[in-house]
A = this chain, B = another copy of it.
Amino acid sequence: MLKLWWYFLCVFEFKITKKQKGSNARTGTLKTPHGTIKTPVFMPVGTKATVKTLSPEELHTLDAEIILSNTYHLHLRPGEKTVKQQGGLHKWMNWNKPILTDSGGFQVFSLEQDKGLKQTAEKKAGARITEEGVEFKSHLDGSKHFITPEKAMKIQHDLGADIIMAFDECADGQSKKEYFEKAMIRTHNWLTRCKREHTKLNKKQTKKRALFGIVQGGTYKSLREESARFVASMNLPGNAIGGLAVGEKKETMLKMIEATVPHLPENKPRYLMGVGTPVEVLEAIDRGIDMFDCVLPTRLARHAAFWTSKKLNHIKNQKFKNDSTPLDKNCTCYTCKNYSKSYLHHLMKESEIFGHRLLTIHNIHFLLNLIRETRSHINKGTFPLFKKSFIKKWQKI
């Protein structure tokens, strides 16, 4: 047992490189069995074991250091058994860098809520929550499934990611305090079970996985503090903040981060789940966050939207039809180096896949580049100025 934890200290070692004065921002490195990640880091989302439209080589060129895949989707189809039998996610999808899988908890709840049948009680539309776990209906065929913390660990171990996430209850953002508390306590109980199961499973693995705990507590400072203290006490290689960016105001989200971070250990990476927009990412880094994931760059591309250093824009806008300039004149991505707005306007108007690819490349580059610049500014001690100047230029998102 001691040996296992010693191994963790080495394999999932997190080193802080530099701390920014007058801010909680820091740069660091996180070791994993598939390579070392520089933090802060943004993880592009590859829901179904593919970052939509892109090849692994394109992600390497974009300097993506780690990607996220969704346990819920892969569990339903093709099933973790297939992925395991094919040698695990890395081999199957031809991705040799780190992978993080979420636990499926978020989807179990949010996909149901997407149907517009919001319920804040244990019995949500299609999903029934007990202390034991969650029974839910597949969004694909309505078939019933039951996921427990133990099962969430087993599925993720079968998928074979480097970092796996605890199974948590992500309460609806509009819930009452009583319910947030209930969901938080359940999340803590589940975390204890996750850790136990994960430790057992990890002993059998040659390439070890790291389990990250998740702080819940909704929009209540006191709950967030309590949850952070509990999660920190589990002494895991990393800690995440869940249940944010689910419809609450940006100010609320930032307050919750501020309430949480001081209670999480300094020497472990902090991961803010499902965030976010360029401005949100900068604000969170300023408050001590090290890791992010978000579907925004890929989803915006699908809807013909792209970021520039000033704002979010839409390529289908008729004014771009004869515009021979790149998406962003200062951008160094493949798309901006080789294609005009005119051509991209045409491709997206015609629903051509190559247009979707090119916008995806640009948007992921934009966010990864923002993070690269952020790291550089933290290392130079100029992050506060950089953040201020970026936000000043930013019109809307």
Contact = CB atoms under 8 A, between A and B. Distances in A.
A349 interface: yes
A48 interface: yes
Interface string A330-362: 000000001110110111011011111100000
Interface in A53-92: 53-55, 77-78, 82, 85-87, 92
Contact of A352 (B48, B94, B352): B48
B342 A82 contact: yes
Interface in A27-42: none
Interface in A75-113: 77-78, 82, 85-87, 92-94
A342 B338 CA distance: 34
Given A92-B340, A321-B78, A357-B55, A49 B86 contact: no
A322 interface: yes
Contacts of A350: 48, 77
B322 A82 contact: yes
A337 B55 CA distance: 14
Contacts of A347: 48, 50
A222 interface: no
A53 B360 CA distance: 13
A77 B346 contact: yes
A52 interface: yes
A63 B103 CA distance: 43
A86 B356 contact: no
A352 B82 CA distance: 18
Given A92-B343, A342-B92, A343-B92, A86 B322 contact: yes
A343 B93 contact: yes
A324 interface: yes
A49 B340 CA distance: 13
A48 B357 contact: no
Most buried by B among A53, A82, A94, A354: A354
**What's the dominant secondary structure at chain A's contact region?**
loop
Contact of A353 (B52, B82, B93): B52
A78 B346 contact: yes
| Interface bin, chain A | 35 or more
Contacts of A85: 322
A324 B92 CA distance: 9
A338 B48 contact: no
A354 B77 contact: no
Most interface-central of A50, A53, A340, A357 (chain B CB within 10 A): A50
A71 to B, nearest CB: 15
Given A78-B321, A92-B343, A94-B339, A53 B353 contact: yes
A85 B345 CA distance: 15
A185 to B, nearest CB: 36
27 contacts: A48-B347, A48-B350, A49-B343, A50-B354, A50-B355, A52-B352, A52-B353, A52-B354, A53-B353, A53-B354, A54-B354, A55-B357, A77-B346, A77-B349, A77-B350, A78-B321, A78-B345, A78-B346, A82-B321, A82-B322, A86-B322, A86-B342, A92-B340, A92-B342, A92-B343, A94-B343, A353-B357
Given A50-B355, A52-B354, 11 more contacts: A48-B347, A48-B350, A48-B352, A53-B357, A77-B350, A78-B349, A82-B342, A85-B322, A86-B340, A86-B343, A87-B324
Interface of A: 48-50, 52-55, 77-78, 82, 85-87, 92-94, 321-322, 324, 338-340, 342-343, 345-347, 349-350, 352-357
Which 4 A-B pairs rank lowest in CB-CB distance, beginning with the nearest? A53-B353, A50-B354, A94-B338, A78-B346
